[in-house]
Structure formats: C-alpha cells, structure tokens
C-alpha cells in the first residue's frame, strides 16, 4: 500500500470521525479511494496541459512564420 493511500485513509477517517454519527471506516475507504484517483488523475492532467501548451506554441510559431490563417465563411 502506498503512503499516499494511507494518508488519504487517515484524513478521510478523521473527517468522517468528526461527524460522530457512524463508523469512521467508510471515511477511511473514501479517503483511500480518493488518494488512488488523485494519483492517476494528476499525471493525466499534467500530460494533457503539456500537450495543449505544445500545440498552442506550435500554432503561434506557425502564425509568426506564415502569418495568420484567413477566416473562412
């Protein structure tokens, strides 16, 4: 089990425990699942943002060299 999953479970446990109405196990499970999702989602978001910035930079460079594309109606 990864450290981030353990931390997520501990945070979820603490948040759910503040309510005091039921067991804190469901909060720990939700926190561990959230940590696992974030571990996958953050690298995907960074990859997407990097690709978008590269494509935008290529478009700006193309416009600087060849001029902007004429508008088609």
On whether the CB atoms of residues 27 and 17 are closer than 8 A, the answer is: yes
Check residue 73 and give its pLDDT.
67
In this prediction the pTM is: 0.60
> For 30-55, what is each residue's pLDDT tens digit?
888 888 888 889 999 999 999 999 99
Percent of residues, the chain, with pLDDT higher than 90: 33
For residue 14 the two structure tokens come to 């603490």
Of 24 and 1, which is predicted with more confidence? 24
Of 55 and 8, which is predicted with more confidence? 55
Of 50 and 26, which is predicted with more confidence? 50
């Amino acid at each position: 089990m990864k450290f981030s999953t353990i931390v997520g479970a501990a945070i979820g446990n603490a948040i759910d425990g503040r309510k005091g109405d039921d067991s804190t196990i469901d909060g720990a499970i939700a926190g561990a699942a959230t940590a696992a999702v974030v571990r996958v989602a953050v690298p995907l978001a960074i990859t997407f943002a990097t690709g978008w910035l590269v494509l935008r930079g290529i478009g700006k460079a193309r416009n600087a060299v060849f001029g902007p594309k004429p508008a088609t109606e």
